[in-house]
Every structure is written in C-alpha cells, then in structure tokens.
Amino acid sequence: EFLDGVDLSRVLRERGQLPVSEAIDFIVQASEAIAEAHAVGIVHRDIKPDNIFVVRAHGRESVRILDFGIARAKSAANLHAGQSTVGNAFDAFTPRYAAPEQWLPKRFGQTGPWTDVWGLALTMVEALTGEPPIGGNDDVATMMGLALDPSSRPTPRLLGADVPDAAEKAFLLALQVDPRERTQSIETFWTELEAALDMPSSFRATSRQPFVSTIAIAPSPV
C-alpha cells in the first residue's frame, strides 16, 4: 500500500497538544489495529508516535501501524506478565518509549500485550500534552530511571494535562512499572479510558468478532 501522509510525531510537532476528542480519533484506530495483532499472537513492542502513520485521503484522516520489524509472535497459552524471559537479555526498542520489561527483562520478565499497552498509553499522553512523557534530553540512563521510578508515573496530570480522575487512574494502571500490576490488554485500557471520558466503548461490538475495520497493518514505507 502506498501511504500518503505523515506520522503522528509530525502531526504533534505541527499542531502541538491535541484536544481530547482529536487524540481519541487518532489513537482509537491504532488501539483497534494493535488489539487485532494481539488476537493473532503478535506483539509489536515499539508503539510510539513515529510508528502511527496518519494517512490523508478523500478529505479524511485514518491511521496505519508501521514497523513490525521487532514484533514477536507468541503463544497466547504461554504468555503471562512477569514470566521469565528466554533468549537474549535485550531486544531492540526505542528508549523513550520502552517499558520496564524491555529495560530489565531479568527482573520484570518477557514482553507481551502489556508492553504495547505501555507504548500506547505513552503515545496518548504525548498527544494530550504535546511533549514526550519520558524526556531526559536523549540521555538513555535518565529515560531508564524515569521509566522505572514507581513514585513518578508519566501520566497526563504529571505533564500538566487536565483529565478526569478516572482517566488519570486508567493511565496509572497502564503505566505501572511491574507488568503484573499493569493493565494487561489494549481493550481493557481503552475501554477504561473511554468510560472515564463518558464515551461509548470502541471494542464492545468488535472485540470478539472478525476484524472488519479499514485499518491496515502496513510495512514501513521505503
């Protein structure tokens, strides 16, 4: 597929922080696509604004998920948060958006759908605030410290966004350091967030049915 558009990081640079309704419109499409990948046993493991591509066509904007280059297929029967990881100690990831289990797999266990929950939550926070939740001036050690600090979670309120209490709670759960305490699925995180914002659930009609959305999982453009 030829993609005509820009990634979400550029959208945020051009527009700054987005109104909640606009951020929801973009990221709900991403959440549906990621959830569908999880349903067939694929974990992306590098969800970030750079990998959410906003396609502009026929007077509307839609979203594609890019770069499944480090995605990992897992058996759903053997995928549990906190389970000891196997293989190499480190896999490829983007430090600014890396979940604790990507930094310290021996402590926190393997990556899984909860890893993409982390990445999607950080992406939503960035859309609401206009700034990456984990900064550190590109200092990797600082980014790791922020990701692993249980006393300071990179939630919307921490970065100055005005969100309801229930929405802040949904982000707190999605950004827990220990993946066993974190929201385990994209569907759960997004449903909690929409309920907090008095919006209907996007997953109510589709979570257990074949995927019929126009969202596509696309390779990175060459």
Euclidean distance between CA atoms 111 and 79, whole angstroms: 9
Contacts of 57 by beta carbon, 8 Å cutoff, 6+ apart: 4, 5
Determine the residue type at 205.
A
Per DSSP bridges, beta strands 52-57 and 60-65 are antiparallel
Cα atoms in the 13 Å half-sphere on the side-chain side of 10? 8
In the chain, how many H helices and how many E strands? 8, 6
pLDDT by residue (tens digit) across 68-124? Answer: 765 555 444 444 444 333 334 345 788 999 999 999 999 999 999 999 999 999 999
Q: What is the pTM of this model?
A: 0.81
Cβ–Cβ under 8 Å, residues 143 and 95: yes
**Average model confidence (pLDDT) across the chain:** 81
Strand order in the sheet with 216-217: 5-7, 52-57, 60-65, 216-217
Q: What is the pLDDT of residue 205?
A: 44
Q: Provide the annotated active-site residues.
A: 46
Q: What is the pLDDT of residue 135?
A: 80
Containing 187, the helix (H) or strand (E) segment is: helix 186-196
Is the pLDDT at 136 greater than 70, yes or no?
A: no
Give the chain's length. Answer: 222
Give exposure, 100-114, as e/b (b: 16+ Cβ within 10 Å).
bbbbbbeebbbbbbb
Euclidean distance between CA atoms 3 and 218, whole angstroms: 9
Task: For tokens 């410290």, name the residue.
Answer: 145
pLDDT by residue (tens digit) across 151-184? Answer: 999 999 999 999 999 999 999 999 999 999 999 9
Euclidean distance between CA atoms 118 and 184, whole angstroms: 10
